[in-house]
Amino acid sequence: MSDITLNASAKVAEAVPRSAPISQVGFVGWLRTNLFSGWLSTAVTLALGYLIIRWAIGFVDWAIINAVWSVPNNQTQACRDLRGTGACWAVVTEKHRFILFGTYPYEEHWRPALCIALFVGLYIVSAMRRFWRKELALIWVGVLTLIGVLMWGGVLGMPYVPQERWGGLVITLILATFGLALAFPLAVLVALGRRSKLPAIKALCVIYVELIRGVPLISLLFMASVMFPLFLPEGMNIDKLLRAQIAIILFAGAYLAEVVRGGLQSLSRGQYEAADALGLSYWQKTGFIILPQALRLVIPPLVNTFIGFFKDTSLVLIIGIFDLLTAGKTAIIEPAWQGFGIEVYLTVGAIYFIFCFAMSKYSQSLEAELNRHRRH
């Protein structure tokens, strides 16, 4: 900003009246510089604005004004009479409990509902930096155990619910949370192992990462659900969900390991040498000097992988586990509700979006906070 000093002098002739200067600040200024800076820009803005408004009006018409919110007794004629001019949210009203909880016994739905609340609470507590202490690990173990007890039941007067009946959002959260919580420590160890000077450990880690990364998650899930049971002794059946969970942990572990290794490699040699010079042991060096710096650097790719895996859990549909997406798809199989897929998919998509967007926003703030010292 340059300072302009007005040299007010009586000699100067009366200034020619001018119109007010074109505003460069504020909302109007922003609009002017970004949307209406030239005739081409103005034309594009107007054309796009027209399309967006038209689309938005159409969407509001469809989603709110013409929508049917509920119908009695599965009589979907009211929805069918709309012929696509309005949304049939009645399908979500009718099926929301199935989409969220799958085939879990209807009168026990409070248990998975409580589990979802516990998961969300756990995420929020873990996200707050003031809870980043050793006790947090204990809280995780405690809450995850509590979730297991709630889901299975069989104690405290809660009837036992076998795993086949679990479903919906809670399955997605279980697969994602256990998957990432267990894959992350594994990934750190594998990443360290890959940089180890011990040839056997290094070879093992390289083989693990390359083997797992060499196959798609779908084939790993197939292995877990189709091949694996045939190798087990007769009469021994490992739970289908557990098999899928292990496949997801192994898969996520390999990807996260490479992310962590990227962080390790970006640290300068000086950090290692300085730690050695202080006489720190390997684990002290890694725990106090290397990992805190390395992990901080790889927050964006870590969160990228987390978000990816949260959505990848929906692949378990191919082995017949009712996660959120599969439950949504199954909800519209009933003949009365066939053809209302858009409403269900929008709802399921919104749920996925809430979780993924929260992760993404949180990682942005975390990144800003942890890397504050790097800003100039």
Partner 1 sequence: MPQFGPSFMRTMGAAALGLALALPGVARAQAPAANANTFDAVRARGQLVCGVNTGLAGFAQPDSQGVWRGFDVDYCRAVSAAIFGDPNKVRYVPTTAQVRFTALQSGEVDVLSRNTTWTLSRDTALGLDFAATNFFDGQGFMVKSALGVKSAKELEGATICVQPGTTTEQNLSDWARANRIRFTPVVIERLEEIVSAFVAGRCDAYTTDVSGLAATRSAQPKPDDYLILPEVISKEPLAIGVRQGDARFADVVRWTHFLLLSAEEFGITQANVDQMANDPRPEVQRILGKNGELGKMLGLDNLWAVNVIKAVGNYSEVFDRSLKPIGIQRGPNALWTGGGLQYSPPFR
Q: Which residues bind partner 1 (CB under 8 A)?
A: 80, 83, 94-95, 97-98, 101-106, 162, 164-165, 167, 222, 225-227, 229-232, 234-235, 237, 240, 317-322, 326, 329-335, 338-339, 341
Shortest Å distance, C-beta 225 to partner 1: 5
Query: Which amino acid is it at 104?
Result: Y
Return the number of the residue (243 or 261) whose C-beta is nearest partner 1: 243
Return the number of the residue (240 or 296) whose C-beta is nearest partner 1: 240
Considering only the C-alpha atoms of the chain, give the largest distance between any 2 of them, rounded to a whole number of Å. 108
Query: What span, in angstroms and rounded, lies between the C-alpha atoms of 34 and 38?
Result: 10
Return the number of the residue (243 or 285) whose C-beta is nearest partner 1: 243
Q: At what angle do helices 169-194 and 135-152 cross, to 10 degrees?
A: 140
Shortest Å distance, C-beta 53 to partner 1: 28
**Which positions ≥6 away from 196 have C-beta within 8 Å?**
202, 205
Shortest Å distance, C-beta 333 to partner 1: 4
Contact 76, 90 (CB under 8 A): yes
Return the number of the residue (14 or 234) whose C-beta is nearest partner 1: 234
Return the number of the residue (141 or 227) whose C-beta is nearest partner 1: 227
Which two three-digit tokens encode residue 291? Answer: 């990992």
Query: What span, in angstroms and rounded, lies between the C-alpha atoms of 133 and 124?
Result: 15
Which two three-digit tokens encode residue 252? Answer: 């996520």
Which two three-digit tokens encode residue 240? Answer: 């289908």
Shortest Å distance, C-beta 103 to partner 1: 4
Shortest Å distance, C-beta 336 to partner 1: 8
Return the number of the residue (188 or 323) whose C-beta is nearest partner 1: 323
Shortest Å distance, C-beta 240 to partner 1: 7
Dihedral angle of Cα 115, 120, 123, 126, to the nearest 10 degrees: -80
CB atoms within 10 A of CB 109: 15
